[in-house]
Chain A
Amino acid sequence: MALFELPEWAALAPTFVLAATSLALLVIDSIDPDSTNRPMLAGTATTGALLALAVTGWYLVAGVGDPNGRGIVSLFGTAQVDGTVFGGQLVVDQMSLLFTFIFASVTAMVTVASYDYLRGHSYQAEYYSLVMLAATGMSLMASAASLATVFVSFELLSLSSYALVAFLKKNRGSVEAGLKYFLIGALSSAVFVYGISLVYAVTGSLQLAAVAQAAAGTELVGVLGLGVILVLGGIAFKTAVVPFHFWAPEAYEGAPAPISAFLSSASKAAGFVVAFRVFTLAFPFETFLDLGVDWVLAVQILAVVTMTLGNFAAATQTEVKRMLAYSSVGHAGYALIGLAAITGSNSEIVLGAGMMHLVVYGFMNTGAFLFVALVEYWDVGRTFEDYNGLATRAPVASLAMTVFMFSLAGLPPFGGFASKYILFMGAVNAGFWWLAAVGAVNSALSLYYYSRVVKALWFEDPSDDVGKVGIANQPVGLYAAILFAAVATVALLPAFGPVSDTAVSAASSLLP
């Protein structure tokens, strides 16, 4: 029994906390423009992220957004089609809270790790402020219930991340990465908004459920189908799915490593939360199959191509960061199975499994990129050979990296095993055994290149560079973030029950 009831808008509190942190950092910056007070800046950002994480966790436990608990909260007006009233522009349900949980955790790890990584860089306040703005955009994407809010929050995330990727202004790699990310991002956001305009042209509405209602029985199937494909293209950019994945290896390689971690885990999950919500609420597959717009087939093709191309490209890389970039393309393919196998009878399990995989992925992939950040901090080198024998100098971090690699490959006893197992089993039970088979073959292939890192760390003789790694030079922030990610990756296996319950319940409230 609650002592007092919070107002409805308080359901968005995690988003408000992230936005307020970003503005607070700008205020600090305006008072002291050249501040290099790293503890204060990183501390403010981390406090904000942890506060948002705490509020999200509290809401999840208290049953906010749970149809059987406190109910789904719909905010900012209503939409009407033919007398039927639909929800507002934003919605807070279990899916939005679950994904906000991922975003806040990843943001906290990234800001803690940046404390060491940004040593000696200028414009630190702006950096943290942009990170928090991007996190605000992500949590808004998770809550967006209208194509208008989807697009605006999508751009809030995109614009902040372009600037973050090009943050190292005097580093040619970073600038080049920022340019390529911006060029492809601008193109795909234009494609995305044109797709939205075609969907609006046919349905006359932007609210997701209202779009589905108005689309049923329309005669303008061609225009609608083109709109759906273009919207899928825009989302494919954000999730680094194959036809729009070209930016990913460049941006992840050139960007500061904590930003690579941020983009490849949190930003990808943000793209997927939009995909899950838009394609289940606005474009429900039953209605669209009747119309002849078979987007499920398109998603299935994308899933298979993305998994295969991502993993094969990762296997041929010589640089660890670039290998991780391609592996993250491959993981986008796994998560797409959540949508690709949705036509089966167990659709809430499959969709929920896609969400679970993104939760686990948020920790293991962030950890892996932060290990790369640690190695860059030590100035060791980028290729597999440069990593030789690192375990002799940094056994704890190497152990954590081993956990990330085996978890990404999907080996027990780590969180990555559970999510992949449920995902592939769900696909098999839905009748898409071939999707699961492609996924399993790709996972087996991925074990090859992940274990190359582990072999280099533990079994190869140390190279000369590794000798430079001093015991005295132990960055506390990077270590803390990596260890937190490693503990979470391991702990997610015994703690998988609550995650999967929440994910399946979130998925079932999206499906009719």
Chain B
Amino acid sequence: MAPPVEYYLFLSAAVFCIGLFGILTRRNALMFLMSVELMLNAANINFIAFSFHHGNLTGQVFSLFTMALAAAEVAVGIGIILVLYRNFQDMDVTKPATMRW
């Protein structure tokens, strides 16, 4: 017997909040990327759990899309972090501040 579907909502909300917390507190660009991955995977938990709950495959297929996009996003992100490191000799996201916010 499957656990109630609300549990998955709590799990995904917890993962999402951990990711958000990481984004708000970490200064290393790579940790930032990992936190974004957590948030994307929180969405995947919802998609797969509710795909089972609703009895259609839409959510499962969408979670495949999300994974592929997460990979693409990391590829572009690592590229940008690489040029950041070459220009600023650092991966601290608060260092580049030649323009004011």
Contacts and interface: CB of A to CB of B under 8 A. Distances in A.
Interface of A: 148, 151-152, 155, 159, 162-163, 166, 169-170, 172-173, 175-180, 182-183, 186-187, 189-191, 193-194, 196-198, 200-201, 204-206, 223, 246, 249-250, 253-254
A166 to B, nearest CB: 5
Contacts of A186: 32-33, 36, 73, 77
Interface string B20-31: 000100000100
A81 B55 CA distance: 12
Contacts of A189: 69, 73
Contacts of B54: 204
B14 interface: no
Interface string B72-89: 110011011101101110
Interface of B: 9, 12, 16, 19, 23, 29, 32-33, 36, 39-40, 42-44, 46-47, 49-50, 53-54, 56, 58-59, 61-62, 65-66, 69, 72-73, 76-77, 79-81, 83-84, 86-88, 93, 96-99, 101
A169 B61 CA distance: 36
Nearest to A189: B73
Contacts of B77: 162, 182, 186
A157 to B, nearest CB: 12
A198 B73 CA distance: 22
Contacts of B66: 151, 193
Contacts of B49: 201
B96 to A, nearest CB: 4
A190 B19 contact: yes
A176 B98 contact: yes
Contact of A175 (B46, B47, B83): B83
A248 to B, nearest CB: 11
Contact of A172 (B65, B80, B87): B87
A223 B9 contact: yes
B96 A201 contact: no
A163 B77 CA distance: 9
A201 B9 contact: yes
Given A186-B33, A194-B46, A175 B80 contact: yes
Contacts of B61: 148
Given A176-B98, A179-B84, A206 B46 contact: no
B73 to A, nearest CB: 6
A196 B58 CA distance: 12
The SS class assigned to the B binding surface is: helix
Given A148-B65, A163-B76, A176-B98, A183 B32 contact: yes
A200 B49 CA distance: 11
Contacts of B19: 190
Contacts of B73: 155, 159, 186, 189
Contact of B80 (A179, A190, A193, A205): A179
A196 B69 CA distance: 15
B39 A152 contact: no
A22 to B, nearest CB: 15
A162 B80 contact: yes
Given A152-B69, A190-B43, 19 more contacts: A151-B62, A151-B66, A155-B72, A162-B76, A166-B83, A172-B98, A173-B98, A175-B84, A178-B80, A179-B81, A179-B84, A183-B32, A190-B40, A197-B42, A201-B9, A201-B46, A206-B58, A206-B62, A253-B99
Contacts of B46: 194, 197-198, 200-201
Nearest to B38: A190
Given A193-B43, A197-B46, A204-B56, A246 B101 contact: yes
Pick the 3 closest A-B CB pairs, nearest first.
Answer: A204-B54, A190-B39, A197-B46
Given A190-B19, A200-B47, A183 B93 contact: yes
Contacts of A254: 99
A175 B96 contact: yes
A229 to B, nearest CB: 14
Contacts of B53: 201, 204
Contacts of B80: 162-163, 166, 175, 178-179, 182
B40 A193 contact: yes
Given A166-B80, A201-B50, A190 B69 contact: no
B24 to A, nearest CB: 9
A173 B42 contact: no
Given A169-B83, A186-B33, A186-B73, A177 B99 contact: yes
A182 B76 contact: yes
A173 B99 contact: yes
18 contacts: A151-B66, A152-B65, A155-B73, A159-B76, A166-B80, A176-B97, A176-B98, A179-B84, A182-B76, A183-B32, A187-B23, A190-B19, A190-B39, A194-B39, A197-B42, A200-B50, A201-B50, A250-B99
A206 B58 CA distance: 8
B87 A175 contact: yes
